């Protein structure tokens, strides 16, 4: 889950649910793993979409609906996402 705390609320990343929220904090975005640990966070006014995409792919893999523009430099020849496969598989993630 991506928690978007930015003023304009326009953060997004393929294959991840985005929730728009407000809070009295310097944090502007949080990417949460399924076990609720923080996989990525930003305190920038306008968090970098590329950094968010990289963190998403590192922790969750490449979403099935992502455009295939060629090999992903962060994907090492069929590397499985961290933690292995969840029970029942995950229809949004290529492994």
Residues 25-63 have pLDDT tens digits of 999 999 999 999 999 999 999 998 999 999 999 988 876
The answer to whether the CB of 56 falls within 8 A of the CB of 27 is no
CATH number at residue 62: 3.40.30
How many domains does the chain divide into?
A: 1
The pLDDT of residue 75 is 47
DSSP 8-state code for residue 93: B
Site of tokens 């305190």: 43
Phi first, then psi, for residue 74 (nearest 5°) are -85, -10
The answer to whether the CB of 52 falls within 8 A of the CB of 13 is yes
> Could you list the residue range(s) of the whole structural domain that residue 22 is in?
1-95
């Amino acid at each position: 889950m991506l928690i978007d705390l930015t003023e304009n609320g326009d953060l997004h990343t393929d294959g991840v649910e985005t929730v728009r929220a407000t809070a009295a904090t310097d944090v502007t975005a949080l990417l949460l793993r399924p076990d609720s640990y923080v996989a990525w966070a930003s305190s920038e006014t306008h968090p970098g979409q590329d950094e968010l995409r990289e963190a998403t792919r590192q922790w969750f893999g490449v979403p099935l609906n992502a455009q295939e523009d060629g090999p992903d430099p962060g994907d090492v020849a069929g590397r499985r996402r961290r933690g292995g496969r969840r029970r029942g598989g995950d229809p949004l993630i290529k492994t």
